[in-house]
Amino acid sequence: MSGIDFDIAHLFAGSLVLVSFLELYQDRLYALLNVYAAHALVLAASVAWQAFIQDAPHLYVTAVIALVFKAIVIPVTLHRLIVRLGIHREIEKVVGVGAAMLAGIGLVALSMVVMLRVTQTADPLAREDLAFALAVVLLGLLMMVTRRNAVSQVVGFMSLENGLVLAATGAKGMPLVVEISVAFSILIAFIVIGIFLFRIRERFDTIDVQALDRFRGERR
């Protein structure tokens, strides 16, 4: 593999981690959705590049799905949903921006240490991709636990899935079955979430998960 191919793939994967950090400190829903769209855009570029250098045309399908579905359809739909439901635009966080960023840096360091150490025999592109992918996955998880708002938890989950797609496309020659399933699962997940949002709206006037927290199971 020539140097430039590797560098570009590296650049995209690294950018994905960077955009994950951007998501981490957004405190308004619209801004968060925009950043998520950028996240998906970077993913699409990264997957397309992998398709090109691996000479694996089926990966272009994954790239198109990322571009159309994740970068355009989902953010637009969620945006409309927020307008229609009149949700609070501010995101309530469990921990402050500073603490979340520090935790994020820690997680990225952790994934580098873990993945680079165990994949010494794998080819360099795949192993760095995996390290970045794990970082994106962990940052997505972090976002889910530091937010209280249902929409931003969902965005956290979707960026987590982006990390998985990055890992799956970085693993050279991984059967298409899995790529489709990843894309498909996002679709299903989104439908489920849509139903949930509407159902929650049906009964209550907020989708702030905290407002649903009255129930602790034993006290009633």
Partner 1 sequence: MTPDETAFNALMGVLVIPAVAAVLLAVLPNYRATARLNVAATTLTLLCALSLFFAKPAPGVYFLVDDLNNTFIVLTTFVGWTTSMFSASYIGHELDIGRLTPRSVRFYHAMYQVLMFAMNLALIANNIGLMWVAIEIATLTTVMMVGIYRTHEALEAAWKYFILGSVGIALALFGTILVYMAARPVVGEGLNAMVWSVLVTRAGSFDPALLDVAFVFLLLGYGTKVGLAPLHAWLPDAHAEGPTPISAVLSGLLLNVALYALLRFKMLLAANAAALAPGPLMVALGLLSLLFAAFMLYRRRDIKRMFAYSSIEHMGIITFAFGMGGPLANFAGLLHMTMHSLTKSAIFFAVGHVAQVKGTQRISDMSGLTVTHPLLGWGLILGVIAIAGLPPLGIFMSEFLVVSSTFARAPLLALILVFGILVAFGALLLRLNSIAFGEPRGPVGKAQASYVPMFTHLALVLVAGIYMPRAVVTWFQNVAGLLG
Binding site residues, partner 1, CB under 8 A: 114-115, 117-122, 126, 130, 133-134, 137, 141, 144, 150, 153, 157, 160-161, 164, 167-168, 171-175, 177-178, 181-182, 184-185, 188-189, 192-193, 195-196, 199-200, 202-204, 209, 212-215, 217-218, 220
Q: How far apart are CA 86 and CA 100, in angstroms?
A: 27
Q: How far apart are CA 99 and CA 123, in angstroms?
A: 35
In one-letter notation, the amino acid at residue 39 is H
Is the Cβ–Cβ distance between 30 and 79 less than 8 Å? yes
Query: If DSSP states are collapsed to H, E and C, what string results for 116-176?
Result: HHHCCCCCHHHHHHHHHHHHHHHHHHHHHHHECEHHHHHHHHHHHHHHHHHHHHHCCCCCH
Q: How far apart are CA 46 and CA 49, in angstroms?
A: 5
